[in-house]
């Protein structure tokens, strides 16, 4: 897509484009150090500001990152592949496996923070779950850490009337997790809807996910439906966009 035929690109843009191509072609690999400002000045005969701007372009795109005192490096982008449909198949949670285990291949994805509480339902949650004004919800807030880096915040809402007294109200929901427990309670999830958006993180999200500058978040809002069409869970997830590829496989 690089418009190599366009000679009217500003100098910093040309340098950024050629570095990007070198990264995409594999000349610079994940974690490699890119040429610094001095090298770019010498190679391209440009001023320091131009060299700096070129590197900024790649940092803004999330392709490269500065490391203090060491230079600018190709960002280590080894995302999780999150298979949207397979991971939620009943074969997964119906056999006592965590749905998260489907994502991770040979890597370590851990929950490092869990908070479970009973709260008044936020308005948009109450509307979707079709709750009365004074119905409360069980709120499960979790943070997931991959290879030591926080990658995902998940906040799950379930009607208290459905989950009261079950392991869903505990930090550890047991084998197969929330969906296996919902099935035991007579609310087996049979259908899911996932809505995906993307935006820049709030400062709080950026802090909780240790997100580098110039990296957006992906928001996934999932609704789980029981057999009678009743929505039984809303799960609002905030993903570090540099850590995830979402995949959906389906027939025509």
Binding site for its own copies (CB under 8 A): 1-3, 13, 20, 57, 60-62, 79, 84-85, 88-90, 155, 179, 188-204, 214-218, 241-242, 244-252
Instruction: Please identify, using beta-carbon distances, which residue of 7 and 69 lies nearer to its own copies.
Output: 7
CA distance 139 to 119: 7
Instruction: Give me the least distance between CB of 1 and its own copies, in Å please.
Output: 7
Instruction: Give me the least distance between CB of 207 and its own copies, in Å please.
Output: 10
CA distance 98 to 109: 11
Instruction: Give me the least distance between CB of 17 and its own copies, in Å please.
Output: 8
Instruction: Please identify, using beta-carbon distances, which residue of 1 and 70 lies nearer to its own copies.
Output: 1
> Tokens at residue 143, please?
């943070």
Instruction: Please identify, using beta-carbon distances, which residue of 14 and 35 lies nearer to its own copies.
Output: 14
Instruction: Give me the least distance between CB of 61 and its own copies, in Å please.
Output: 5
Instruction: Give me the least distance between CB of 213 and its own copies, in Å please.
Output: 10
Instruction: Please identify, using beta-carbon distances, which residue of 48 and 199 lies nearer to its own copies.
Output: 199
Instruction: Please identify, using beta-carbon distances, which residue of 107 and 124 lies nearer to its own copies.
Output: 124
- What are the residues whose beta carbons fall under 8 Å from the beta carbon of 150, sequence distance 6 or more? 112, 143, 144, 208, 209, 210, 240
Instruction: Please identify, using beta-carbon distances, which residue of 1 and 165 lies nearer to its own copies.
Output: 1
How many angstroms separate the Cα of 238 from the Cα of each of 76, 81, 116, 211, 225? Answer: 20, 15, 18, 12, 21
CA distance 92 to 46: 56
Instruction: Give me the least distance between CB of 159 and its own copies, in Å please.
Output: 19
CA distance 174 to 46: 61
Give burial (CB, 10 Å; 0-12/13-18/19+) of 11. middle
| Contact between residue 224 and residue 192 where contact means Cβ atoms under 8 Å apart | yes
């Amino acid at each position: 897509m690089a418009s190599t035929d366009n000679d009217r690109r500003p100098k910093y843009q040309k340098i950024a484009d050629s570095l990007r191509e070198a990264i995409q072609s594999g000349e610079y690999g994940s974690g490699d150090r890119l040429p610094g400002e001095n090298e770019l000045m010498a190679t391209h005969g440009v001023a320091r500001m131009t060299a700096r701007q070129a590197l900024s372009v790649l940092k803004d795109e999330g392709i490269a990152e500065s490391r203090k005192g060491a230079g600018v490096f190709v960002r280590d982008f080894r995302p999780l592949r999150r298979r949207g449909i397979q991971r939620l198949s009943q074969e997964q949670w119906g056999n006592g496996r965590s749905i998260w285990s489907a994502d991770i291949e040979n890597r370590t994805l851990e929950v490092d923070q869990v908070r479970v509480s009973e709260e008044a339902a936020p308005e948009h949650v109450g509307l979707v779950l079709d709750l009365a004004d004074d119905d409360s919800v069980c709120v499960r807030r979790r943070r997931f850490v991959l290879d030591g880096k926080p990658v995902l915040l998940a906040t799950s809402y379930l009607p208290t009337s459905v989950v009261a007294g079950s392991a869903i109200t505990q930090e550890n929901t047991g084998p197969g997790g929330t969906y296996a427990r919902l099935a035991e309670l007579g609310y087996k999830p049979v259908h899911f809807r996932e809505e995906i958006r993307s935006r820049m993180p709030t400062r709080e999200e950026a802090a909780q996910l240790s997100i580098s500058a110039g990296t957006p978040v992906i928001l996934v809002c999932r609704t789980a439906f029981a057999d009678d069409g009743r929505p039984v869970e809303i799960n609002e997830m905030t993903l570090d966009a540099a850590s995830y590829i979402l995949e959906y496989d389906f027939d025509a």
